[in-house]
Amino acid sequence: MNFAPNFNFEVKRSTRRKTLCLQIRDGHVQVMVPVRTPERQITALVDKHSDWIEKKLAEQAARPKAPPRYYEAGEIYRYLGQELELEIVDGAPWPAEIVGRGLVVTIPKRLHGAARQAKVKQRLHELYRQAALAEFQARTESCCGRLGVAASAVKVKAYKRRWGSCSSSGELSYNWRLVIAPAAGVDYVVAHEVAHLLEHNHSPDFWRIVKGLMPNYRVQQAWLNKNGGTLAI
């Protein structure tokens, strides 16, 4: 009898891979295998782990997702976990800014429809990236001071599948979307990356450093794992 799973999966073959591996991200199932792996072996692997795959797919489907965005006045956005209401002002081009509990975006009156939405989105992304860099620089400097270390540089990037990274040269990079999360979530990722300046691995010593910087880091880690999909603009 042919195996017919209740989900689709993608097979990725690689000349570098030596073993078979299952990966589930964003509701997609990937089977990564050596280039000459027979189809029957791939099918057997998926069949063997089908219950686990379906469980993980259900868990991911149940995670909160970002609301649809229309980039219209009155929409609610978040910055460091705080709600901000979008206000759109007609006028000469001007960088978006946070004013009190609002996001103020100024765009030319002549723009309408999709062009207007695209310009509002662009202005918001520019604002959030700039604000994120300032936040991460300040929080990284404070965290480094507690450990007596220093980062060679702090940058923001548009990562798709990670919140931050630490290079071998001590450069720390953060996902700019993280600035949407509550401040404690930001501090956890900063603590995580700064700890890599001392331990470039995930050994017990590394996690001891993280815990020393943030005793309740597991709470923030769990929050990001569950709610990371909502951090979008």
**Torsion sign over Cα 15, 16, 18, 22:** negative
pLDDT bin (cut points 50, 70, 90) of residue 143 is very high
How much of the chain exceeds pLDDT 70, in percent?
98
Are residues 89 and 143 both part of a single domain?
Answer: yes
User: How far is residue 183's CA from residue 186's CA, in Å, rounded to a whole number?
Assistant: 5
For 69, 71, 100, 114, 220, the CA distances from 88, given in Å and listed in that order, are 14, 9, 15, 15, 33
Q: What is the DSSP string of 198-231?
A: T-SS-SHHHHHHHHHH-TTHHHHHHHHHHHGGG-
Using an 8 Å Cβ cutoff, are 16 and 34 in contact? no
* Together in a domain, 104 and 16: no
pLDDT for res 85: 98
For residues 211 and 60, which has the higher predicted lDDT (pLDDT)? 211
CATH of the domain at 190: 3.30.2010.10
Do residues 119 and 193 share a domain? yes
Question: pLDDT of 152-200, one tens digit each?
Answer: 999 999 998 899 999 999 999 999 999 999 999 999 999 999 999 999 9
Angle between helix axes 113-147 and 204-213 (nearest 10 degrees) is 100
Q: How many domains does the chain have?
A: 2
Q: Give residue-wise pLDDT tens across range 50-109.
A: 999 999 898 888 889 888 999 999 999 999 999 999 999 999 888 999 999 999 999 999
Q: What is the pLDDT, as a whole number, of residue 1?
A: 39
Q: Tell me if 149 is assigned to some domain.
A: yes
Enclosing domain of residue 42: 9-62
Q: For residues 98 and 190, state if they share a domain.
A: yes
pLDDT at 62: 85
Average pLDDT, integer, range 35-57:
94
Claim to verify: residue 124 and residue 197 sit in the same structural domain: yes
Same domain, 96 and 154: yes
* Residue 161 is assigned to a structural domain of this protein: yes
